Amino acid sequence: MIRWWCSAAATPWTWAWRPYPGVWIFVALLSGAWFALMRRTTADRSPDTPSGVPFFIGVAMLWIALDWPLGALAGYLASAHMAQFLVIALAAPPLLLLGLPRTPVPPATGMRRLITHPLLTLVTFNAVVVATHLPAVTDALMHSQTGSLLIDLGWLAAGLLFWWPVLRPAAHPWFARPVRMAYLFANMVLMTAPGAMITFSDLPLYSTYELAPPIPGFSPLDDQRLAGLNMRVGAAIVTWTAISILFLRWNRAEVRLMESESAAARITPDPDPPASHGTP
């Protein structure tokens, strides 16, 4: 029987390739949605609309995270499951958003402004992170393909919501680059708690991985500690990369502003020239 989505399995692990058609359909739907959106917005796109390269890099990252072997290993190893989380929730969403067409943005409605408010997106993202890493939730959902799909889609939706105000801040003019950098740093701090819980536990937390068919070289506790380390280090890498890019763009914008103000001051005539004291 073909499994349509990756989930925890009771069969011993082998490196034999396994097909997951549900993942292929999901990737095809994402790609098709991008092409459909591009056709609909051809007339409204701004000249600086990016190509689809970032979007399809993000789609490729999702494919790698969800398909064999990483997707299948996530049913055996907590560390592989955590690698999936980092890609699906943190690394791929900003690329997907960067690859969307930039169309003229209508005035934000109250509901859209509320949903994309940075405080709400920050809280929502971390609530999803904590909830999906609770042992009771992981053990309940990972054993079924539907449950595993729900975890993956929850991560992706939360990641898109989290990155939206960083990359599309038009609804919140006060959310300038320095504030966005603080937002990203705050998220990294908040993610320390679940990462520490997983890393420093003296006992395996997840029966899914404690009772999974063993893979040589990985004890359940060592695997769990590696998963916690993956969360802390991986989140830091993504976060500091994004903060660095925002800082460089902010600095570049400030330099351009200072140069334009200096140039304007040089060409503006003095409205009150000094009086001449010479003899006419």
pLDDT of residue 218: 83
Q: List the one residue out of 119, 184, 182, 191 whose CA is nearest residue 155.
A: 191
pLDDT of residue 107: 54
pLDDT of residue 40: 80
pTM (predicted TM-score):
0.89
pLDDT of residue 280: 42
pLDDT of residue 279: 47
Q: Please write the tens of the pLDDT for every residue from 32-67.
A: 999 998 888 765 555 555 678 999 999 999 999 999
C-beta of residue 205 within 8 angstroms of C-beta of residue 219: no
* Regions of the chain short of the pLDDT cut 70: 1, 42-50, 103-109, 261, 268-280
